[in-house]
Structure 1
């Protein structure tokens, strides 16, 4: 009986234990499913879609590849917020980091009147010292601010040619900002005129290396014209401008239409600028030109809003009065008219004649200034002579004036204004009378007539009866007279034909006696800084070929350095040694070897332009080197 009871009890315990195990198993599975689901949902909401969640009993395994270590840590933190941290087993990996990318190399260069500043990052493979030396050469004594940094990464393809072009452009642009990248050079600059802008753009675009993108933004700002001046004359039915200012092309068209209707022949140039006193400037000028034609000739001058009509001294009084009255009525309100019917003008030109009192000044082609005629008193004479010496040079002025206390009011102002006008001439004369000022001469400044008219119209006020007979000669123009590329090389050729460059035997040291020749070449090259030339070194065939090659390269570089020492801008010069490879004479004779030992200056033409005919016609300046007789090795003979 007891045994039966014990069996029953044991069976009950076994059944209970089995039930407990079964319940625990179901509970553990429920916990695993809940944990996995909850963690997966939380990670999904946190956009950790790269995490894979699995369970092993009460433990939760997190696997997958995290983009970064921070992402791995955040995913583990999300899981730890749902289950105990010790139950979250980290099986996650972190994606391998990408290699550090090379930095973007670039240089910003700013140039103005105060100097040059450069900032940026360049590769260590770029010769920094060479870049700074070239910048200092371009700066020509002004301050250079160097804020360049360098990084040890490979030099990008195209970087060196882009930087070289940027520095080359900098030499031509005194006011500019140049941004250099490996595949792009952006240039922002200011030119003095539209013509200069076009020339700069053409020159720069010709020199762009293959594969380099260039962005040019060269502006030619409108000048501020003060006073805003226009002067139109009619003589014998033919019209001409001494000065023409306008605020737009539309205004120019309006002015020229009126001028052509009144006798203007051929083309005329008007300067577009700022400073016009009224939006009706063009209309006012057209009305004035028409009135001048109606009275048959003379001049009309607009100086800001002041208008002076000077008729011919033969104009009938009644006609003059009618036209002047109508013009005063027709001009826009802002303009005021001063009309003059002059007495006949007699020019004696000596300052000593029996006609009206005169002051005369002349300027010779050599720059000598002579002052003659009448001045009011000693104080005025001292002021006039001091002004002339300050303007033209202390030793350039000869004064032989006399005093006349009866001269009209405003005489000193008329004399000083005329002397200021004389400064616009290379040579010529001025004659000052009470009612007339005449300026005659020759100039190399294309804007001289307009400048003289502007000076006299501003300084003379209502007494603006003056004449300007000024001729422009291109040979006197310092810009137009600059030599062409061929003339540059021909000039060097003439110097070298007269005196040869010499070197020490077997060395790249320039002999002391060649200094004068290099000075002359440097003088020529200051007007030829935009001309690309190669300085080529050549030897004869004596000695080893590699030694001759090195010697010729050293000699070409020595000439380049000598020109740089003479403050010649050498950015457009290249030194290259050719050794014995290009003889021009027989190396079997002493005379032939002497001819083959030479330095050549040769034009570098743009790659797209040279042809076989052009290359054969390239001007070359040759210097046959005079060598001292040496008894050493064959290399010394080279």
Structure 2
């Protein structure tokens, strides 16, 4: 009996051992098989552990998709029911904020805007600004919003674009946080230059402005070139060309004739592609004669030789020119004769002073022409600026009225000057801020006076009269304000932000300067003395700076780029221990807000000045106007 029991016990032990070995074999084979399968697919991050028939997977999967792939791989080696998922998934980074941008398109049909803006941007305000710009033409709103933090410079870029769009009737503006790109079309080159200058003045710091502004070529009617050689030298009264190459050919011929720094307008309206051939041949002919003028209006050419030219030379040069000109052109030639300087031919004269006052003198055909010239001048220059001293005489040429009115129209293109009309010529001299005025006047006279008419345009371009180049720089504006406040400080009523009546004249002068300066990034800073509490002084200085800003607004100064900031008793300029010092510390300062690039340039200039031993005020990092 004992033997039988021991036999069964031994068999049980053997069976148990065999089962244990079988389980261990299954665990090892399952664990190794699953690990090999995972390693083969690059999932080395996964840990595999077999526990009996179960296989546990642990570790941190990069993504949820990778975790699911690991389960699928393990399930392909062992029964999926035996796979235990103890894996985790790596925490995902927050989704990156989208790139905020907007694009505005404005044309004759209205205004449209599309893009993605932050929720923090006041959408209602932005659309209302667009509506005020577009007026009755309407706004197409395709803006979307996203609830992510706005980039630091987004609002300033958007505000700049809104301000710029008001002066851009035909434009596309693309806005990003640190970049504003403007593509626009203007009517004239002068308008283009003025617009570019204003936009560059307005752009905030840290915003990259990209401009692509084009101006179409002007239409020149009639297409006119007038060149003259006088004892004073050779010069153009007007120069027109149809292409840049044609312009360079014409200018080269003028320089060969002795002209200094000539310029030529490239425009539309040329009568023939061979315009440059005719102009260069005509200038060459005049050079051979040694003096006189050549006028080309469309296809009509008038050559006037100077008095004293030999008849034989005149005939030879005119003959050669006739054979050289392209077929479309018609040539008229005239050899001027010596005249008696004491003969005193009948004439009409009008003068325009730098202050804008006009005086009309000389002869007119009748009372009707006298009234017409007076009315014309008053309409052009202002009714209170014209003085008439003309008299009616007989025996004037039949085209006298045309010549007089054409002369007055030419005078209207100048800032100051005079026009003299005689039976033989119209002579106009003066100064202008328009570099193209000479060509405009000559083209007008050629068209109105008719073929073969003699006229002389002696117009001088003055940079300071140019409405674009003549604008003062921001630093010059700051200096002008300094000169004003040096003569009259802005005072306030005691303990108040109300500007004293004695300072209103100073505010008028500052407003006049700022209107001429255009857009400026200007900070109006208020300061107090050290008496009183710090918080009270800070509030008072802020209120006073805002009062100055409001006074400028009341005088119709555009203050969109101005800021009013109070600094309290900071940065004293004198000793607060004396009454005179405290008076000096109670002040308003006008400071230009400079971009980072400008500040860096100023710092470099200061360092260079220090190295050279020059510590003059013009090397200072920051200029200010102190009141």
TM-score when normalising by structure 1: 0.71
Q: Is the 8 A contact 2:110 2:139 kept in 1?
A: no
Residue number in structure 2 paired with 1:368: 357
- Structure-1 residue corresponding to 2:267: 273
Aligned counterpart in structure 1 of residue 159 of structure 2, from 131, 155, 164:
164
Report the Cα offset of residue 237 of structure 1. Answer: 8.8
Q: Alpha-carbon deviations, 1:155-179, whole Å to 9, x = none?
A: 4214213213424645776764323
Match of 1:88 in 2: none
Offset of 1:118 from its aligned partner?
6.8
Q: Aligned to 2:581, which of 592, 597, 600?
A: 592
1:304 and 2:298 correspond? yes
Tell me whether 181-190 or 515-524 shows the greater mean CA deviation.
181-190
CA–CA distance in 2 between the matches of 1:391 and 1:437? 19
Instruction: Work out whether 1:381 is the aligned partner of 2:375.
Output: no
Matched, 1:322 2:316: yes
Assess, with a 3 A threshold, how the Cα gap between structure 1 residues 380 and 211 changes in structure 2: closer, same or farther: closer
Note the alpha carbon deviations across 1:355-391, whole angstroms, 9 max, x for none.
4332222233333333233322333333222222222
Correspondence for 2:68 = none
Helix, strand or coil at the partner of 2:594 = coil
Alignment counterpart, residue 530 of structure 2, candidates 530, 541, 549: 541
Change (3 A) 1:249 1:414: same
Match of 2:174 among 165, 168, 179: 179
- Equivalences for 1:145-544 in 2 at 5 Å? 151=145, 153-157=147-151, 158-167=153-162, 169-170=164-165, 176-182=171-177, 184-191=179-186, 214-236=209-231, 238-264=233-259, 266-345=260-339, 354-544=343-533
* In structure 1, distance between residues paired with 2:378 and 2:232: 41
Task: Tell me if the contact between 2:251 and 2:264 (Cα under 8 Å) persists in the aligned partners.
Answer: no
| Deviation for aligned residue 1:296 | 2.1
Structure 2 gaps of 5+ residues are: 1-64, 66-93, 607-617
Deviation of 1:519 after TM superposition, in Å, equals 2.1
Q: Name the residue aligned to 2:611.
A: none
Classify 1:492/1:112 alpha carbon distance in 2 versus 1 (closer, same or farther; 3 Å): farther
The alignment yields a C-alpha RMSD, in angstroms, of 3.8
Equivalent position SS for 1:579: coil
CA contact (8 A) 1:126 1:155 kept: no
State the partner residue of 1:24: none
- Cα distance change on mapping 1:210 and 1:534 into 2, 3 Å: closer
Identify the range of structure 1 (542-551 vs 335-344) with the bigger mean alpha-carbon deviation. 542-551
Q: Which is further off, 569-578 or 101-110?
A: 101-110
Are the counterparts in 2 of residues 345 and 436 from structure 1 also a CA contact under 8 Å? no
Q: Distance in 2 between the 1:530 and 1:231 partners?
A: 39
Comparing 513-522 with 162-171, greater Cα deviation is found at 162-171
Alpha-carbon spacing, 1:479–1:359, altered in 2? closer, same or farther (3 Å):
same
* Structure 1 residue runs without a partner (length 5+): 1-66, 68-98, 349-353, 624-638
| Distance of 2:139 and 2:571 partners within structure 1 | 42
Shift of 1:440: 2.6
Following TM superposition, by how much is the alpha carbon of 1:512 offset from its aligned partner in structure 2, in angstroms? Answer: 5.0
Match of 1:621 in 2: 625
CA deviation profile, 1:437-487 (whole Å, cap 9, x unmatched):
222333343333222222221111123212223333334444443223222
CA contact (8 A) 1:435 1:463 kept: no
CA distance in 2, matches of 1:143, 1:519: 36
Q: How many residues align?
A: 520
Q: In 1, Cα distance between the equivalents of 2:619 and 2:166?
A: 27
In structure 2, C-alpha distance between the alignment counterparts of 1:144 and 1:489, rounded to whole Å: 40
The answer to whether the 8 Å contact 1:135/1:144 transfers is: no
CA drift at 1:242: 1.2
Determine which of 534, 558, 566 is the counterpart of 2:555: 566
Higher deviation after alignment, 220-229 or 274-283: 220-229
State the 1:132 CA deviation: 8.0
Q: Say which SS state the counterpart of residue 516 (structure 2) adopts.
A: coil
- CA–CA separation in structure 2 for the residues paired with 1:389 and 1:211: 50
Q: 1:404 offset after TM fit, Å? A: 3.5
Q: Tell me the TM-score normalized by structure 2.
A: 0.73
> Could you say if the C-alpha distance between residues 355 and 197 of structure 1 is closer, same or farther in structure 2, counting changes exceeding 3 Å?
closer
